[in-house]
């Protein structure tokens, strides 16, 4: 009898036919043994430690994001002040003939700063790239100031939820 016909018969009718299910059971057991079974116990203290560390990390992330947003707003204020100053110099105090080379050199300096940012961080010289770079730096500095153990946090997180290992790669940028 083949495996296919054996699987359609009721178990009472085929009392000695366990051999036809054995390859399927072996495959199921092999797959089950390959999947990690790391489910934290209810009485395990690691779950509470992970929850506390997640709360602490969320607070650090909020502080880092607020600091970076504050820096970006200050940068916008400086660019607006520079533009107003250049407009004043161009149309009232000096002339375009004087201000044209100054504006050219200031623009060249901005371009060089953006290219230097790209060389240093290997990220796109955009506002989003700058935000991500500054966020990672501030997050790392705040984690050090708050004595936050990122290695322990990642260890607890991977032990509690193996699936979250893929999503914790977003946090790996703050560990470098």
- Cα within 13 Å of Cα(40), Cβ side: 18
Tens digits of residue pLDDT in 12-55: 555 555 555 577 777 877 787 777 665 545 546 778 888 888 99
Intervals of the chain under pLDDT 70: 1-21, 36-44, 161-176
Distance separating alpha carbons of residues 142 and 128, to the nearest angstrom: 21
State the pLDDT at residue 116.
93
From the CB of residue 8, how many other CB atoms can be counted at a distance below 10 Å? 7
What pLDDT is stored for residue 163 in this prediction?
Answer: 38
Q: What CA–CA distance (Å, rounded) separates 11 from 121?
A: 65
Only one residue has tokens 């506002």, namely 127
Q: What angle do CA 34, 39, 44 make, to 5 degrees?
A: 145
Alpha-helical (H) ranges within 35-160 are 45-88, 96-121, 127-145, 150-160
CB 155 within 8 A of CB 81: no
Query: Which uninterrupted H or E stretch holds 3?
Result: helix 3-7
């Amino acid at each position: 009898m083949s495996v296919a016909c054996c699987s359609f018969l009721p178990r009472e009718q085929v009392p000695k036919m366990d051999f036809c299910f054995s390859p399927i059971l072996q495959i199921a057991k092999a797959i089950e043994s390959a999947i990690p079974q790391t489910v934290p116990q209810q009485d395990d203290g690691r779950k509470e430690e992970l929850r506390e560390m997640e709360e602490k990390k969320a607070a650090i992330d909020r502080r880092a994001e607020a600091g970076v947003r504050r820096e970006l707003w200050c940068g916008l204020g400086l660019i607006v002040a520079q533009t107003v100053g250049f407009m004043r110099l161009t149309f009232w105090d000096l002339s375009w003939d004087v201000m044209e080379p100054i504006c050219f050199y200031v623009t060249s300096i901005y371009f060089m700063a953006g290219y230097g940012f790209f060389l240093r961080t290997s990220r796109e010289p955009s506002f989003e790239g700058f935000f991500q770079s500054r966020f990672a730096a501030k997050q790392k500095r705040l984690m050090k100031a708050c004595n936050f153990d990122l290695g322990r946090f990642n260890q607890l997180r991977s032990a509690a939820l193996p699936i979250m290992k893929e999503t914790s790669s977003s946090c790996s940028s703050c560990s470098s």
